[in-house]
Amino acid sequence: MLFHLRHRLHYLYAAPAILECQILRLRPREDAHQRLFSHHLSVSPEPSLISRGSDEFGNVETRAWFLGETPDLTLEVQSTVETVRVNPFDFIIEENWMTLPWEDRLAKVRPTLAPYLPAIKDSSLRGFAEGIRRDGGGEILPFLLRLNKWLHERLARETRLEGPPRSPAETILLGRGACRDLAVAFMALARSQGIPSRFVTGYHEGDPANPRKELHAWVEVFLPGGGWRGFDPSVGLAVADRHIALAAAPEAPETAVVTGAFTSTRAGSQLETEVLFLDETA
C-alpha cells in the first residue's frame, strides 16, 4: 500500500514561552516492513538549530532548538510511505523456540533483547497469560494470536487523547482502554512468558473512506526466525500493510512523537492535532 499523509500539531501556550530542546519522532521508519519515499518537516517558529540522528533503539530523532519567546509551536510533516508486508506470517520460527514459556532464555542467548524483557511481578497478569498459553497448546504463535484476540474481545476501545498508558492491571480491571493501554497490556502478558516485546507508535489506515486518522499504538514481539513482528490488540489482527510505524522502544514514553519542555510566566498549553491520509493507492 502507498500512503501519503499529513500530520499537524499546534501547541498554544498560556503565555509566551521559552522552548527547551524539542525532540521529534515524526519521521516514518525505513525497514523490511515499509519504505519511505518522501518526508518533509516544517517547524514554526523557525528553530535556531535543527539536527537529525538516531536514538539507542534506532529511531530517527529530530532535535530543534529555539531562541526567544513564542506564543505557540506548529509542527507539520508530510510523508509518502509504502507498506510492503502483505503477509504477516511469511516466516518460520526456529525449532528451539516453538513452545513456551521462554522464561529468560532468549535474553541470555541474545543479551541485546534484555531491555525488552523487564521482570513482570504481577502474579495475576502471569496467571492470565498462562491460561491463554495452555489454551493454545503451549505454542508461541497460537499464544500470540489468542492473546491478541483475548484483549480485542475482552476490552472495549475508548478514545483518550492525553495522558500516559494505564497499567496493564488497571486496563484489564476497567475492561476498556485506548490503543496505548491495550498495547502495554499485551506487552506485559507476552513478557511474562519470556517474549521480548516493544511499544510502537504510528498510524493505522482504519476506515479507508475517512481520511482523518489518529496516532495509533501497537506491539512488536521478537520471534527467532521472524524478527520483530507486529500485533495490534485494538483491531485484533497481526500487523501487515495497513500500519505505518514511526518509532519503537521498550516503553511507551520513549516513542512519544514530541518530547520537550517549556518555561513561561503561566503554566499550561493546549494541543490541536490533525492526521490526514491525503491519498492511498493499492
- The pLDDT tens digits for 153-188 are 999 999 887 889 999 999 999 999 999 999 999 999
Task: Give the mean pLDDT of the chain.
Answer: 94
Quick check: helix, strand or coil at residue 268? coil
Q: Write down the pLDDT at residue 161.
A: 79
The enclosing H or E element of 182 equals helix 179-191
Domains in the chain: boundaries: 2-84+256-281, 95-240
Question: What type of residue is 177?
Answer: G
Summarize the confidence of residues 116-127 as an average pLDDT: 89
Q: What is the pLDDT of residue 160?
A: 85
Checking if the pLDDT of 93 tops 70, the result is: yes
CA distance 216 to 86: 19
Q: Which of 61-65, 66-70, 232-236, 267-271 has the lowest mean pLDDT?
A: 267-271
CATH code, 2-84+256-281: 2.60.40.2250
Tell me what pLDDT residue 79 has.
Answer: 97
What are the tens digits of pLDDT across the range 218-229?
999 999 999 999
The angle subtended at Cα 192 by Cα 138 and Cα 183, nearest 5°, is: 105
In the β-sheet with 215-223, what is the strand arrangement from edge to edge?
A: 237-238, 227-232, 215-223, 197-204, 243-249
Confidence of residue 282 (pLDDT cuts 50, 70, 90): very low
The pLDDT-based confidence of 244 (bands split at 50, 70, 90) is very high
Q: Tell me the pLDDT band of 280, cut-offs 50, 70 and 90.
A: low
pLDDT on residue 237: 95
Question: Is it true that domain 95-240 has CATH number 3.10.620.30?
Answer: yes
Task: Indicate if 95-240 has the same CATH topology as 2-84+256-281.
Answer: no
The predicted structure's pLDDT at residue 196? 96
The DSSP code for 211 is: -
**What pLDDT score was predicted for residue 168?**
95
Using a 10 angstrom Cβ sphere, with 0-12 exposed, 13-18 middle and 19 or more buried, the burial of residue 36 is middle
**Band of pLDDT at residue 251, cut at 50, 70 and 90:** very high
Give per-residue pLDDT as tens, 10-55.
Answer: 999 999 999 999 999 999 999 999 999 999 999 999 999 999 999 9
